[in-house]
Structure 1
Amino acid sequence: MAGVDWDEDDPFEEQREQAESPMRRLIFDFGRPYWFSMTVGLISSVFARALDLLPALLLAVAIDSIFGEQAFHEQVPLSVLPEAWLPASETEQFVFVVVVVAGSFVLGAVFHWLRNWGFNSFSQDVQHDVRTATYDKMQRLDMEFFSNKQTGEMMSVLSNDVNQLERFLNEGMNSATRLIVMVFGITFLLFWLNPQLALVSLAPVPLIAIFTYIFVQKIQPKYAAVRSSVGKVNSRLENNLGGINVIKSSNTEEYESDRVNDVSRKYYNTNWDAIWLRIKFFPGLQVISGIGFVLTFLVGGYWVLMGTAPGPFTGTLETGVFVAFIMYTQQLVWPMAQFGQVINMYQRAEASSERIFGLMDEQGRIERDEDANEIEVRDGRVEYDHVSFSYEDELHDSGDDDGHGHGHGDGDGDDDNDDQIPDENLIIDDISFDVDGGETVALVGPTGAGKSTVLKLLLRLYDVNEGAIRIDGQDVRDVSLASLRQSMGYVGQDSFLFYGTVEENITYGTFGADREEIVEAAKAAEAHEFIQNLPEGYDTMVGERGVKLSGGQRQRVAIARAVLKDPDILILDEATSDVDTETEMLIQRSIDDLTENRTTFAIAHRLSTIKDADQILVLEDGRIVERGTHAELLQNEGLYSHLWGVQAGEIDELPQEFIERAQRRHARTEISDD
C-alpha cells in the first residue's frame, strides 16, 4: 500500500527537526532521578532471564548421567563445581537436580516480580515528569505558537505521544533486556557445550541483523507520519465536540460525520502503511530465526543418531547436550523474533520523543528574564511610544479584532493614503498615545483594526517589533512577566470558564479569597442574584467551558473574577458583548465604580458603553486615525461619527466613501482569513 506523506502537513514538523538526541534526553535527563527503580528492573531482569536458562542445562545433566552412562561430576555444566559438593548416588543426584530446578523457578519468580516493579515504576515516573514538563513548557509559549496549532494536535502530544514513551520504557526496555540476556546467555552456553554445533544454531544471526536494519530504515518515517495523523484526528474530534451546538443547530451532522470519516480514513491509510510493513517483517524474521532451529535439529539429530560427527565436525555429541541445544535454540527463536518488536517500539517512541522534545526546545519571541525586577505601579500611567507589531509566521489573530490589511499613516486621522497598497505584515503601525493614571481609554474601530492586539501587547502576550510600552516609566519588557500580568485584570469577549464551581471560577487567580469577598465581587459584577438562584449557589458546577451558564452569566462571572483581583490596570475587551441591554446597564454601572481611580482600557463595538471615556482612540488598519472625547469625535464627522450613525440606524445618511472603505476592509479581511 502506498504511503501517505503527512510530513508536509505535520504541525510539529519544524519542532521535530530541531529536536536533538530525544531518546538520550528521555533516558538520561528524565530517567536520572529514578535510577534506583531502573537499576532494580535491569538487574532483576538479568537474573530472572539467567535463571530461565538453568532448567534446560540441568535437564541435559539428568539425561546424560542419571538416565545415561556419563558420570555426574564429569558433566560440562557441573565441571566448574568441586566434586565434593556433588551427590554420589543416582537418587541423591536426581533430588539435587529437582531441588535446583525448583529453586530456580522460585527465585526466578522473585526476580520477575522485582523486574516488573522496577520497569513499571521507572516508566510511570518518567511518563508523569515528561507530561507535566511538556505541559508547563507549552503553556509558557507565546500566544503566536497557539495561533498556529490546533488544540487536538497539542493534546495528541500530551496524551498519545507521552503514552507511547511509557510503552517503550516499560515493555520495550524489559524486552530489550530479556533479548540481550537470552541471546548472549544462550550463545555462551551453546559454545560452552559444543562450539561446532553452536555455529550451526547461530548461523541465521547475520541475516537477522541485515533484515532488521532494512526494517528500521523503512519504518521510521512511517511512524513519524502516524504520529502526525493521530494529531489531526484529535484536532477534528476536539473541534467538532467543541462546536456541537453549531452542528446540531445547522443540521450538519452528516457533513461532519463525512469530515471525521475523511480524516479517520487518512489515519487508517497511514497507520496501515506502517502495519503492512510490520506484518511482512515479523513473520519473515521468525522464519529466518526458525532456520537455526531446523539446522540444529537436522545436524545434531544425525550426530546423535549415527554416533559419528557429520561432515567437517569432529567428536561426539551426547543426547542430553543435543536436547539442551534443541531447547535453547527454540528459546532463541522467540527473542530473535522479539527483536523486531523492540525495534518497532523504539521507533514509535523516537517519533513521539521528537515531537515532545522538539516542543520543549521551542523558543518564543518573548524574552523572559527570570531575574527581572517586579513592576511598581504607582499612578498607572501608560505610554505607547511609536509601537509597531507584526506576526512572525501567521498574520492571523484568534480574536475578531485583529485584522491583516494595514496601511501607513501618521496617526493624525489623515486619510490621504487610503489608496496606497498596505503593508500586509503590519498589524499595528507606529501608534503613540499616553494614558494618565486613573483614566479610562476606549479603543474603537471596525473589525480587523487591531484593537485587541494593542492591549495584548500591553499584557505582553506578544512583544512589540518597534517602539516601547511603558507603565509609570517602566518598559514592560524590563519587568517580570508574573508581576506585570498580576497588576492587570482582563475581561475578554470570550468569557472562558473552567470546569468547576462558580466560586472556583471567580477565585481563579485570587485563590485565597474568602466567601465574603467573593460575594462582594459578584455583587459588583451584577452576578450575585443569578448565582443565588442556581441549584447549589456558588457551589454549582458550571460544566465544561461554563456550558451550563448563559453567555451573559459567563461574562458576569468573568467580571467578578476581575473585580476580586482588584488590579491596578483593567482591560475590558468587549466585556458586555453577550448581555442584554438591561443587564448591560446594570453591569456598566458596576464597571463605572470599578474603573474609578483605576487606569482602564475598554474595547467596544457598542459605542454607547464607552461614550463617557476620558479618551477615545479610533483605529483603522492598525493606525490611530482619530482621538478625542465622544462629543469631539462626533463633531469631527469622521470614522467615529459614521460608526455611531450605523449603530443609531442612520445608514441611509452615511457617505458613499465610508461604505466603499468598509467594503474594501471587509474584502481584505476575508482574503487574509482565507
Structure 2
Amino acid sequence: MRRGGDISSSRLPPVTAGASAAPAQPRSDWITLRRLFPYLWQYKWRVVAALAFMVCAKLANVGVPVLLKELVDTMDMKPGDASAVLVVPLGLLFAYGLLRLSTSLFTELRELVFAKATQGAARSIALETFRHLHALSLRFHLERQTGGMTRDIERGVRGIESLISYSLYSIVPTLIEVTLVLTILAVKFDAWFAWITIAALVVYITFSVGVTEWRTQFRKEANEFDSAAHTKAVDSLLNYETVKYFNNEEFEAKRYDENLERLRRARLKSQTTLSLLNTGQQLIIATGLVAMLWRATLGVTEGRMTLGDLVMVNAFMIQLYIPLNFLGVLYREIKQSLTDLDKMFTLMEKEREVADRPGAQPLAGDDWSVRFEHVNFAYEPARQILHDVSFEIPAGKTVAVVGPSGSGKSTLARLLYRFYDVQEGHIRIAGSDIRDVTQASVRQAIGIVPQDTVLFNDTVEYNIAYGRPGATRAEVEEAARSARIHGFIESTPRGYQTMVGERGLKLSGGEKQRVAIARTLLKDPPILIFDEATSALDSANERAIQAELKSVAQHKTTLVIAHRLSTVVDAHEILVMEAGRIIERGTHQQLLAHGGRYADMWALQQSAEGEKFADVMGM
C-alpha cells in the first residue's frame, strides 16, 4: 500500500453520481410503463374491477345507438295507431334512460374503485423517491439544483395521475368502443362501413401521433426552461440576504426574466403547432363522417338500410369521433406524463456512491474507540485532500485537530460520518471498519455540532428535539439549559414555539449554534464531533459552553476540530494538520515545548488576542 503522495485515478470514486452527471438517454415508454406497473399491481383486484366496470360502461354506451335504431324503426307506423302511445313513452324513456344511467354508473364505479390504486401508486413512488434522495451521497446534494429537482418530482407525481387518467379513462375505453362499433358495422352492414371507419382512424391516428411527436420537442423545451426559471427563483429567494447585501434585486430579476422569455417563446411554438394539429384532426373527422353518411344515405335510398340504420350509424360516428377529437391532446399528455415519470424514475435510479454492503450488520461494541489507519482521500481525482492520515481516539478520550483552513480537518468528520468512502486505508469504530457495517448504525453512534448550522423552518422545540425525536419537553429544556439557550428561548413571546425561519435565519449565528449544541446533547451519543462548535459565540458564552461541553465529553469519544487553540488545550492529544497531512501531534504542553508549527500558531493567536484586549480597554 502506498503511503502519502498522489493516488491514481483508478482508485478514486466516480464523480458521475452527482447531479452534474451527463443526462441519461431517453428510454422507451414501455420501460417506464413496466416500472410503473408493479406499483399499480399491488391493487390488482381494484385494477381488475376497474377494467370490468369500464367494459360494462362501454357496452352500455354502444347499446344506446342500437336502441335508437330499434325505436326509430318501430315508430314507422300509421298515424293514429294505438300502439304508438305505448311504444314511445315506455320504450324510449325507460330503455334509453336505463342505458344512459348504466353508462354513468359504471364510469363512476370505475373511477371510485381505481382511485385508491392511483393515489396509492403516487404515494409509494413519491415516498420511495424521497427516501432515495436521502440515501444519496453528500456529493449529489452539494451539486444538485434544488428548484429543478423538486419540480421534476412534482411533475412526476402529477404525471402518474395524468397517465392513469388519460390512458385508463380515455384511450383504453375509446379502443374498446371502436372495436365494438367496427364489429357491429361489419356484421350488420356491408364491409365498406368498417373499412371507411378503419381508414379514417388510421389516417387520424397517424397524423395525430406524427404531429404530436414533432411537437414534443417544444414541450420538452418549455419544461426545461420552466425548471430553469424555477431553479433560479428558488436559489435567489434562498439567498435573499446576499441579494440585498449587494443590491442585486434587478440583476436577479433580469436573470429570472431571461428564463421566462425563453419559456414564453417555447410555449408559443407549442401553441402554434397545437392549432395545426387540431385543424388537421377536424378535417380528417369531417371527411370520415361525410363518407359514412353518404354510404348510409345511399343504402336507405336503395332499400338496403332502414331510417333507423342511418340514425344508428350517425350516432356511432358521433360517439367515436368526440373522444377521438381529443386524441392528439390525450396522446401529448400521456407522452408528457411518461417523460415526467421517467425523469422521476431516473432520479430514483441514481447510483448511491456510498451504500451498505450486502449483509452489513449494525455497529456493535462497548469500546467506542475511533481509528484512522493510513487514510488517503480525494473529492476529485486531480485534488487529493488527505495523505496517509493515521491517528486514534481512545474510548472516552478527546482528540483535537487544528490547522489552517483547507488542511482537511472537516473532511475527517465527513469521512467518519461516512458521507464519503476513503480510497485507501481504513476508518474503524469499536474495531469495525465503517464500510462493513450499516451507515444508519454509524450515524446513530455519532453526534455532531457542525461549523455551519442549518435549522428546519419550524419551532425551536422541534429543532432541538430533532436530536432525539420523541424526547419529552423536560428533556428538551434540560438540553437547552446545558447549551445556555433556555433563558433566551423563554424570553421570546412564544418561547419554545418560536419559529426559526428558513434555514434558521431568524436567529443569530450564536443562537443557531447553541440550538445545534442542544440537539446534539439531547441525542447523547457515545461519539461526539465538535467542528468549530463555538466559533459564532461571544467570549462569555463560549467559556460557559466550553465548560459544559467538556463535562458532556467526559467518558465519550470526542473529536474536536478548531481554529482557536485556546479551546483545545485540555485535549488528550492535539493533531496539527497542514495540506492534508499530520505534521505534529502531542499534548498542548508537549507541542509548545517542541517549538514547531503549533507553538507558532499559539504565539500568533495569543498576540492577536492581547492586541484585541488592549484595543477594547483603550490601552
TM above 0.5, one fold? Answer: yes
1:597-612 equivalent positions in 2, closer than 5 A: 597-612=555-570
Task: Write the distance in 2 (CA, Å) between the matches of 1:269 and 1:633.
Answer: 67
Task: Give 1:311's aligned residue.
Answer: none
Task: Write the distance in 2 (CA, Å) between the matches of 1:584 and 1:19.
Answer: 59
Aligned to 2:326, the other structure's residue is in SS state helix
- Does 2:568 match 1:574? no
Pairing partner for 1:55 from 33, 48, 64? 64
Task: Give 1:36's aligned residue.
Answer: 45
Which letter does structure 2 place at the counterpart of 1:63?
V
Task: Write the distance in 1 (CA, Å) between the matches of 2:156 and 2:464.
Answer: 34
Task: Give 2:235's aligned residue.
Answer: 239
Task: Give 2:304's aligned residue.
Answer: 316
Task: Give 2:115's aligned residue.
Answer: 120
CA shift in 2, pair 1:269/1:384, >3 Å: farther
CA shift in 2, pair 1:489/1:233, >3 Å: same
Pairing partner for 1:150 from 141, 145, 148? 145
Task: Write the distance in 2 (CA, Å) between the matches of 1:250 and 1:154.
Answer: 27
1:65-214 equivalent positions in 2, closer than 5 A: 65-67=74-76, 89-94=83-88, 95-195=90-190, 196-214=192-210
CA shift in 2, pair 1:424/1:528, >3 Å: same
Aligned to 2:392, the other structure's residue is in SS state strand
Given that 1:428 and 1:623 are in contact with CA atoms closer than 8 Å, whether structure 2 keeps it comes out as yes
Shift of 1:598: 1.5
Aligned to 2:577, the other structure's residue is in SS state strand
Q: Which structure 1 segments of 5+ residues have no match?
A: 1-8, 70-87, 309-314, 396-422, 654-674
Shift of 1:635: 5.3
- Does 2:314 match 1:326? yes
Which letter does structure 2 place at the counterpart of 1:41?
A
Task: Give 1:539's aligned residue.
Answer: 497
CA shift in 2, pair 1:193/1:91, >3 Å: farther
CA shift in 2, pair 1:157/1:640, >3 Å: farther
Given that 1:19 and 1:361 are in contact with CA atoms closer than 8 Å, whether structure 2 keeps it comes out as no
Shift of 1:52: 2.3
1:398-547 equivalent positions in 2, closer than 5 A: 424-547=382-505
Task: Write the distance in 2 (CA, Å) between the matches of 1:351 and 1:268.
Answer: 21
Task: Write the distance in 2 (CA, Å) between the matches of 1:588 and 1:370.
Answer: 42
1:255-404 equivalent positions in 2, closer than 5 A: 255-304=251-300, 307-308=301-302, 316-369=304-357, 371-391=359-379, 395=380
Task: Give 2:246's aligned residue.
Answer: 250
Shift of 1:438: 2.3
CA shift in 2, pair 1:132/1:540, >3 Å: same
Shift of 1:529: 1.2
Task: Write the distance in 1 (CA, Å) between the matches of 2:563 and 2:134.
Answer: 30
Task: Write the distance in 1 (CA, Å) between the matches of 2:390 and 2:544.
Answer: 33
Given that 2:393 and 2:559 are in contact with CA atoms closer than 8 Å, whether structure 1 keeps it comes out as no
Task: Summarize deviations over 1:511-547 as a string: whole Å, max 9, x none.
Answer: 2322332222111111111122122322333333323
Which letter does structure 2 place at the counterpart of 1:114?
L
1:655-674 equivalent positions in 2, closer than 5 A: none
Pairing partner for 2:587 from 609, 621, 629? 629
Mean CA deviation greater in 229-238 or 584-593 = 229-238
Given that 2:51 and 2:110 are in contact with CA atoms closer than 8 Å, whether structure 1 keeps it comes out as yes
Task: Summarize deviations over 1:206-258 as a string: whole Å, max 9, x none.
Answer: 21232234235434555555444443233222211211122223321111111
Task: Write the distance in 2 (CA, Å) between the matches of 1:387 and 1:20.
Answer: 46
Shift of 1:619: 2.5
Which letter does structure 1 place at the counterpart of 2:349?
D
Task: Write the distance in 2 (CA, Å) between the matches of 1:433 and 1:60.
Answer: 92
Task: Summarize deviations over 1:536-561 as a string: whole Å, max 9, x none.
Answer: 32233333332332221111111111
Given that 1:183 and 1:335 are in contact with CA atoms closer than 8 Å, whether structure 2 keeps it comes out as no
Mean CA deviation greater in 465-474 or 612-621 = 612-621
Q: How many residues align?
A: 588
Task: Summarize deviations over 1:367-398 as a string: whole Å, max 9, x none.
Answer: 3146433223433321111111223xxx4xxx
Shift of 1:502: 2.0
Task: Write the distance in 1 (CA, Å) between the matches of 2:124 and 2:232.
Answer: 28
**Identical-pair percentage:** 32
Task: Write the distance in 2 (CA, Å) between the matches of 1:592 and 1:23.
Answer: 55
Q: Which structure 2 segments of 5+ residues have no match?
A: 1-17, 612-619
CA shift in 2, pair 1:191/1:276, >3 Å: same
Task: Give 2:11's aligned residue.
Answer: none
Given that 1:372 and 1:478 are in contact with CA atoms closer than 8 Å, whether structure 2 keeps it comes out as yes
Task: Write the distance in 1 (CA, Å) between the matches of 2:251 and 2:553.
Answer: 47
Task: Give 1:77's aligned residue.
Answer: none
Task: Write the distance in 1 (CA, Å) between the matches of 2:517 and 2:28.
Answer: 42
- Does 2:55 match 1:46? yes
- Alpha-carbon RMSD across the aligned residues, in angstroms, is 2.8
Shift of 1:162: 1.4
Task: Write the distance in 2 (CA, Å) between the matches of 1:546 and 1:101.
Answer: 65
Given that 1:10 and 1:228 are in contact with CA atoms closer than 8 Å, whether structure 2 keeps it comes out as no
Given that 1:12 and 1:355 are in contact with CA atoms closer than 8 Å, whether structure 2 keeps it comes out as no
Shift of 1:165: 1.9
Task: Write the distance in 2 (CA, Å) between the matches of 1:271 and 1:621.
Answer: 52
Shift of 1:586: 1.8
Task: Write the distance in 2 (CA, Å) between the matches of 1:648 and 1:275.
Answer: 70
Task: Write the distance in 2 (CA, Å) between the matches of 1:647 and 1:297.
Answer: 97
Shift of 1:626: 2.9
Mean CA deviation greater in 628-637 or 328-337 = 628-637
Task: Write the distance in 2 (CA, Å) between the matches of 1:280 and 1:68.
Answer: 49
Task: Write the distance in 1 (CA, Å) between the matches of 2:412 and 2:253.
Answer: 40
Tell me the TM-score normalised to structure 2 length.
Answer: 0.87
Task: Summarize deviations over 1:321-350 as a string: whole Å, max 9, x none.
Answer: 112222221222222232222321221122
CA shift in 2, pair 1:630/1:259, >3 Å: farther
Aligned to 1:390, the other structure's residue is in SS state strand
Which letter does structure 2 place at the counterpart of 1:352?
D
Given that 1:16 and 1:358 are in contact with CA atoms closer than 8 Å, whether structure 2 keeps it comes out as no
Task: Give 1:667's aligned residue.
Answer: none
Aligned to 1:386, the other structure's residue is in SS state strand
Shift of 1:22: 4.3
Aligned to 1:548, the other structure's residue is in SS state coil
Which letter does structure 1 place at the counterpart of 2:325?
A
Mean CA deviation greater in 126-135 or 370-379 = 370-379
Task: Give 2:14's aligned residue.
Answer: none
Tell me the TM-score normalised to structure 1 length.
Answer: 0.81
